[in-house]
Structure 1
Amino acid sequence: MTIKAGFFIFDEMQLLDFAAPYDEFCSTPEIEVSLIGESLKPITTTSGLSFAPDHDISTILPLDVLCIPGGNGVNQFLNNEPVLEFFRQEAKETRFLTSVCTGSLILGASGLLKGRKATTHWSAMEFLPIFGAIPVEERVVVDGHIITAGGITAGIDFGLVIIAKLLGQETAKKTQLLMQYDPEPPFDCGTPEKAPKALVEQLQRENSTDERKKIIRKWQEKHGF
């Protein structure tokens, strides 16, 4: 049985949001992976790596799972109606519509998170209720056929959850062992709750969400919120 997975890729995509589950899926022989872009133009990630999509949004693919990574580049799609409509149409056909990190904001802007539990990067949790979502601070949140993952490294956990759902826990365990995924981080500050308050505040200053707030405010005005 061949499982068909797709990733929506775009400029300023956070590389690890995409690369972690992509590598897990590609390490699983039963999964075939496609890359989808707004167009067929090559994209460049936040780290400068460039590659090209296999398909553009003019094609609705019969997929088992479609994943939207996060990154600063999500901002360009929050009021991009052709892209948002693409996800609404894929939601009708795809077994699992999913996101990693701030990719969930695109699902939200598409109207697909309304009334659903969801998660995202800790710095973007405040935006989920604007889209009618119920914020949950967990690494991976499953609500029906919508699956969302937290920030960046949560994509590793996400990939294993997806593999387990599609191919069973034994296949997921095999993938985890192959990756030697047994994390023991050198510092216990991977969430705002665990990190020193000064460090959290520093990151908030250095990674301002002011521009994203303006874009989401425009979305609110358009949709009468």
Structure 2
Amino acid sequence: MMSKRALVIIAPGCEEIETVTSIDTLVRGNVKVTVASINPNKQREVVASRGVHLVADHLLEEVAHETFDAIVLPGGLPGAEYLRDNPLVIELLKKQHAKDLWRAAICATPAFVLAHHNLIGDALVTGYPGTEGQLPAAQVRKDRVVVDKPNKLITSQGPATSIDFALAIVAALQGRETADKVRKDMLA
């Protein structure tokens, strides 16, 4: 069986906990993770929202031609705004949806990126408290994590929900049993 692959896209001002927790948890779930930067300076390194330096494996344009089982968007500001304003990110999200592959967004990114570009459709969603007004009102849930299987969309609220968010991605890609084992091993 081929290993599942996830693309985590980072930008200046992305939220550290959401980024690193997603990467680490996915790796623990035997998902091959590629981290790609959309740094406007064309550097793999970005300075995250709290000043932590993160280094991507690639620039996004270097891996944009590849297919990933999931695309993961960490939140944070101004990281979510960089993601929202990057045409390649939006193109990849549209292709991901068209191919019926998973998309995952946490914190500000469900509102700032997905809703802004009409990429939610009829999916149920959640996001950072205070961003609900930017999400489709009838579809918003107050849950920590919302998994909309028919639309292959996973959304979550913020830093404190990062482990649950990442475990939901592991479950979607590798199955509930793998996610439960990772949860148990992490004492989550």
TM-score, reference length from structure 1: 0.71
1:111-162 Cα deviation digits (max 9, x unpaired):
2113321110112111113xx8721111111222111111222121111122
Q: Could you say if the C-alpha distance between residues 34 and 166 of structure 1 is closer, same or farther in structure 2, counting changes exceeding 3 Å?
A: same
Q: Is the 8 A contact 1:60 1:90 kept in 2?
A: no
In the alignment, the residues of structure 1 paired with residue 22 and residue 170 of structure 2 have an alpha-carbon distance, to the nearest angstrom, of 10
Aligned match for 1:169, one of 166, 173, 176: 176
Report the Cα offset of residue 87 of structure 1: 2.1
Q: Could you say if the C-alpha distance between residues 161 and 76 of structure 1 is closer, same or farther in structure 2, counting changes exceeding 3 Å?
A: closer
Alignment of 1:65-104 (within 5 A): 65-73=70-78, 74-93=80-99, 95-104=101-110
Q: Could you say if the C-alpha distance between residues 110 and 169 of structure 1 is closer, same or farther in structure 2, counting changes exceeding 3 Å?
A: same
Could you say which structure has the larger radius of gyration?
A: 1
Report the Cα offset of residue 94 of structure 1: 6.2
Aligned length: 178
Q: 1:49 matched to which residue of 2? A: 52
Q: Partner amino acid for 2:13?
A: E
Q: 1:136 matched to which residue of 2? A: 141
Q: Could you say if the C-alpha distance between residues 97 and 15 of structure 1 is closer, same or farther in structure 2, counting changes exceeding 3 Å?
A: same
Aligned match for 2:155, one of 143, 148, 151: 148
Report the Cα offset of residue 71 of structure 1: 0.5
Give unmatched runs, 5+ long, in structure 1: 182-225
In the alignment, the residues of structure 2 paired with residue 92 and residue 156 of structure 1 have an alpha-carbon distance, to the nearest angstrom, of 27
Question: How big is the alpha-carbon RMSD for the aligned residues of Structure 1 and Structure 2?
Answer: 2.0
* 1:51 match: secondary structure: strand
Q: Partner amino acid for 2:35?
A: L
Q: 2:17 matched to which residue of 1? A: 16
In the alignment, the residues of structure 1 paired with residue 122 and residue 60 of structure 2 have an alpha-carbon distance, to the nearest angstrom, of 26
Q: 1:218 matched to which residue of 2? A: none
Compare relative contact order (CA 8 Å, sep 6+) and give the higher one, 1 or 2. 2
In the alignment, the residues of structure 2 paired with residue 172 and residue 82 of structure 1 have an alpha-carbon distance, to the nearest angstrom, of 30
* 2:108 match: secondary structure: helix
Q: Is the 8 A contact 2:154 2:168 kept in 1?
A: no
In the alignment, the residues of structure 2 paired with residue 62 and residue 133 of structure 1 have an alpha-carbon distance, to the nearest angstrom, of 32
In the alignment, the residues of structure 2 paired with residue 166 and residue 50 of structure 1 have an alpha-carbon distance, to the nearest angstrom, of 28
